[in-house]
């Protein structure tokens, strides 16, 4: 975009030193740095806004494609009426036949034996080192 080589930068620095003077040069460079930072911030904000608009346009285009694909799939596979769809699970309470005796599957489970719960054992006292052996 902007092409500055070393010789051009040296000429600009020399002219700035002569015109502004060594006393006010640091203040001038601070002001220039401030405005360059502001310009970069505005450029960054503009670029981010532009990228966001492009991203939104791409998302809208993808949503249109997905909608068209969904419509195509729905045309190829029309929805069935609720009576044509077989239930996934059998009836919970089927009607008992006249020749079969009803049985109760929903009774409480039968425990074979009662579990034994023993109290936890306390740890044994630690053994003292044998002082007589030393």
**Model confidence over 4-58: pLDDT tens digits?**
788 998 998 888 888 988 899 899 989 999 999 999 999 999 999 999 999 999 9
d(CA 19, CA 23): 11
1: pLDDT confidence band, cut at 50, 70 and 90?
Answer: low
d(CA 128, CA 107): 59
* Rounded-to-5 percentages of helix, strand, coil across the chain: 50, 0, 50
Number of domains in the chain: 1
- In percent, the amount of the chain with pLDDT more than 70 equals 66
Does residue 132 sit within a domain? no
Does residue 15 sit within a domain? no
Other Cβ atoms less than 10 A from the Cβ of 69: the count is: 10
What residue numbers bound the domain in which 32 lies? 22-76
Does residue 9 sit within a domain? no
100: pLDDT confidence band, cut at 50, 70 and 90?
Answer: low
Burial 26-43 (b: 16+ CB within 10 A, else e): eeeeeeeeeeeeeeeeee
pLDDT(97) > 60: no
Does residue 97 sit within a domain? no
């Amino acid at each position: 975009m902007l092409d500055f080589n070393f010789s051009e930068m040296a000429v600009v620095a020399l002219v700035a030193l002569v015109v502004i003077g060594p006393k006010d040069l640091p203040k001038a460079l601070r002001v220039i740095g401030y405005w360059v930072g502001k310009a970069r911030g505005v450029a960054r904000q503009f670029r981010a806004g532009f990228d966001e608009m492009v991203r939104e346009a791409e998302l809208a285009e993808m949503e249109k494609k997905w909608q068209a694909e969904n419509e195509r799939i729905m045309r190829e596979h029309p929805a069935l009426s609720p009576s044509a769809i077989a239930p996934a699970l059998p009836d919970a309470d089927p009607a008992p036949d006249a020749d079969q005796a009803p049985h109760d599957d929903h009774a409480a489970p039968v425990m074979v034996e009662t579990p034994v719960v023993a109290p936890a054992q306390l740890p044994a006292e630690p053994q003292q080192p044998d002082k007589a052996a030393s």
